[in-house]
């Protein structure tokens, strides 16, 4: 009886070991970890904004439509460049079929993207893109053009003259640079009577952006307008203006379209904002990754569009689908 029990225990142990080895090996190759489908990791700049959750939903929609497996992840905050690089390394170690990447630091990731290229893993940039020729395509808003439109709206709303300031999420990502420069260059080239008195960087963090905006208002008591270049920046600026009892006196223009921004526009704290199409960004990134992994030709720059919205059109059929809770 004891011999039979020993044999059973030995066989059970061997079976468990085989199953463990099988489970460990299933995450490799160019297949998804659990489904056997082509695997495409999608690495975003963060998770703290509703914008990224909307991008995620678009990516998941494309994954279902094109029958691939994706993972969607990003660091807790948009200052954690090192953590994002670790995520990219981990994703590449799984030998995916393709990879979609929104760079926090558009240069820091280049060595790993070169590794992807040498392993014939197509890279698709989304939202921020990468300062490199490696990505076969980038699905993104034309951020310079969108920020230029924000500048035109600012000029209109402050009467073509006065002091304004910017709070931008960073000066390392493509979005941070393009939105800052698009706004700044439009003001400087078209509106000689408007002066940009300060540009600060709040890492997309609401509280930090609020503190920066308050300091700018204290240093420039005649300030007439603020541009907040992403969701966290814009909400931070709006909160600062509200806390300093400047609502209605300082024009606030934002970027993106999460609930806190739409609420600020509805209550008049914010004059209006640029909305991207985050669902479209996620969808187009995964679609382009699927095309690239199949060897199909992909358009290099995939423009996912943008719109201005304010109280007058926030509930319109054109804008409503682009707002996210």
Q: pLDDT value at position 49?
A: 81
Q: Where are the domains of the chain?
A: 30-141+278-305, 143-275
| pLDDT greater at residue 157 or residue 19 | 157
pLDDT at res. 33: 54
Give which of 253, 51, 258, 52 is closest to 147, Cα–Cα. 253
Task: Find the mean pLDDT for residues 164-171.
Answer: 97
What's the gap between Cα 280 and its chain centre?
Answer: 12
What residue ranges in 38-114 does DSSP mark as E strands? 39-43, 69-73, 99-101
* pLDDT (mean) for 143-157: 98
Q: What are phi and psi of 135, to 5 degrees?
A: -60, 130
pLDDT at 17 over 70: no
46-82 tens-digit pLDDT: 887 888 999 999 999 999 999 999 999 999 988 899 9
- Looking at residue 29, what is its pLDDT? 34
pLDDT score of 324: 84
- Tens of pLDDT, residue by residue over 257-278, are 999 999 999 999 999 999 999 9
- Of residues 181 and 21, more confidently modeled: 181
The predicted pLDDT at position 149 comes to: 98
Q: What is the mean pLDDT of residues 135-160?
A: 97
pLDDT of residue 36: 87
* Global pTM value: 0.78
Which of these ranges, 4-13, 212-221, 308-317, has the smallest mean pLDDT?
4-13
Overall average pLDDT of the 147-170 stretch: 98
Q: Which of 7-16, 84-93, 202-211, 289-298 has the least mean pLDDT?
A: 7-16
Phi and psi torsions of 239, nearest 5°: -65, -40
**Lowest model confidence (mean pLDDT) among 45-54, 172-181, 191-200, 222-231:** 45-54
Topology of the domain comprising 143-275 = Rossmann fold (3.40.50)
Residue 14 has pLDDT above 80, yes or no: no
Whether 30-141+278-305 shares its CATH topology with 143-275 is answered: yes
76 contact partners, CB below 8 Å, separation of at least 6 = 46, 47, 48, 83
CATH topology for the 30-141+278-305 domain? Rossmann fold (3.40.50)
- What span, in angstroms and rounded, lies between the C-alpha atoms of 54 and 71? 15
Q: Is the CA virtual torsion 163, 168, 171, 176 positive or negative?
A: negative
Tell me: pLDDT of 210 over 50: yes
């Amino acid at each position: 009886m004891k011999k039979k029990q020993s044999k059973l225990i030995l066989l059970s142990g061997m079976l468990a070991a085989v199953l463990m080895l099988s489970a460990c090996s299933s995450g490799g190759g160019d297949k998804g970890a659990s489904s056997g489908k082509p695997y495409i990791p999608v690495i975003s700049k963060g998770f703290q904004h509703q914008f990224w959750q909307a991008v995620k939903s678009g990516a998941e929609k494309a994954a279902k439509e094109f029958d691939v497996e994706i993972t969607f992840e990003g660091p807790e905050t948009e200052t954690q460049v090192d953590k994002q690089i670790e995520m990219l390394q981990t994703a590449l170690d799984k030998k995916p079929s393709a990879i979609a990447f929104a760079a926090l630091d558009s240069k820091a990731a280049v060595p790993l993207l070169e590794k992807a290229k040498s392993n014939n893993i197509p890279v698709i940039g989304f939202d921020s893109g990468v300062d490199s020729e490696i990505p076969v395509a980038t699905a993104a808003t034309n951020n310079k053009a969108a920020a230029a439109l924000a500048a035109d709206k600012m000029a209109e709303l402050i009467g073509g003259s006065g002091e304004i300031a910017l709070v931008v999420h960073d000066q390392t990502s493509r979005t941070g640079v393009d939105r800052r420069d698009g706004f700044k260059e439009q003001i400087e080239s078209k509106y000689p009577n408007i002066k940009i008195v300060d540009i600060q960087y709040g890492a997309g963090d609401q509280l930090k952006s609020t503190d920066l905006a308050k300091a700018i208002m204290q240093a420039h008591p005649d300030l007439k307008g603020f541009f907040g270049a992403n969701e966290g920046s814009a909400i931070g600026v709006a909160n600062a203006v509200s806390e300093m009892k400047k609502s209605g006196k300082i024009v606030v223009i934002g970027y993106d379209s999460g609930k806190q921004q739409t609420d600020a526009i509805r209550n008049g704290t914010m004059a209006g904002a640029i909305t991207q199409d985050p669902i479209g960004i996620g969808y187009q990134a995964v679609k382009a990754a699927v095309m690239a992994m199949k060897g199909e030709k992909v358009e290099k720059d995939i423009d996912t569009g943008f719109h201005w919205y304010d109280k007058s059109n926030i509930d319109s059929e054109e804008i409503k689908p682009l707002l996210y809770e």
